[in-house]
Structure 1
Amino acid sequence: MKINWGTGLVIAIALFMSFILYFVIKVQSNSKYDNELVVEEYYKHDARFQEEMERIQNAHDLKQKPIISYTSEGITIVFPESFASNQITGTVSLYRPSNKKLDFDTPISLSNPTLLIPKSKLVGGQWGINMEWQYDGKKYLTKEPIYIQ
């Protein structure tokens, strides 16, 4: 049987479409290629953007800022000593850009100016820290990436 150029072109296009469809189905069905959003309800989150920017600016304007560091015990967050530790409230959200299942929140309730997030809760890799806190009626937001080995 002889194949002319028109039939060859149709076969080539069909093979190419099959090839692309195979990879689309493979990526969508395999959890290794997870494509989740970093933030659920993205548009609701985006609507509060100005409020978020004000809280970030409040944190930026502080003379003494909270210090976030990684130690052998875990992640330590040291608040300024000029703040009364028992009046600081809020949450620290840790999220993994690569795996949503590892995300968790820790409430801020302090008796001294240091908050420790134990190493046992953390897996190696990049983490994002969103610290939403308030002191004396003023709201603050601190965002930092940190890498855990």
Structure 2
Amino acid sequence: MKFNWGTGIVIAIVAFMGFILYFVITMSTNNSYSHDLVTEKYYQKELGFQNEIDATQNANNLEENVKILKVNNDLKVIFPAVFNPKKIQGKVFLYRPSNKQLDFEIPISISNSYLLVPEKRLLGGRWNISVAFKYNDKEYLVKQEIEY
């Protein structure tokens, strides 16, 4: 058999196609490359998006905004001083984009104007924090990203 340019090009194309096929099969079957949706019920959550927009607008219209601060290695969520802490109902959801097993939710039940999230639950890295609460039948939503 004589090796010429045509044979070399065919071998190169077949080798490239084999590499691409191997790469696609490896990426689609290997569990370390699995990618989850941001939320499990993506389409149901999308239907309530206008309520989220309204709650965010309500929070932005407050004279004193909700603050999320790192204090002594803990995370402190400070509510406006004009709010009665016992009437605030809701939850604080901490979302870890890199690992959904680290996500957790804390119900808001406070007697002071702040909620303290202990540092033992927070690993180093990026966290998305959503504070969704209701005060006097008006809903509020504050979202913030932090590096812990």
1:71-104 CA-partner distances (Å, limit 9, x unpaired): 2241100111111101101111101111111111
Q: In the TM superposition, what are the counterparts of 1:99-138 in structure 2 within 5 Å?
A: 99-138=99-138
Q: Which residue pairs with 2:13 in the alignment? A: 13
The TM-score normalised by the length of structure 1 is: 0.89
SS at match of 1:97: coil
TM-score (norm 2): 0.90
> CA 1:72–1:35 in structure 2 vs 1: closer, same or farther (change >3 Å)?
same
Structure-2 separation of matches of 1:135 and 1:24: 51
CA distance, structure 1, for counterparts of residue 14 and residue 104 of structure 2: 46
Aligned residues: 148
RMSD: 1.7
Give 5+ residue unaligned stretches, structure 2. none
Query: After TM superposition, what 4+ stretches of structure 1 lie above 6 angstroms from structure 2?
Result: none
- Give percent identity, aligned residues only: 47
Partner letter of residue 131 of structure 2? M
SS state of the match for residue 19, structure 2? helix
For structure 1, the 5+ residue unaligned runs are none
Match of 2:45 in 1: 45
* DSSP 3-state at the match of 2:116: strand
Which residue in the other structure is 2:85 paired with?
Answer: 85
Superposition deviation, residue 15 in structure 1: 1.6
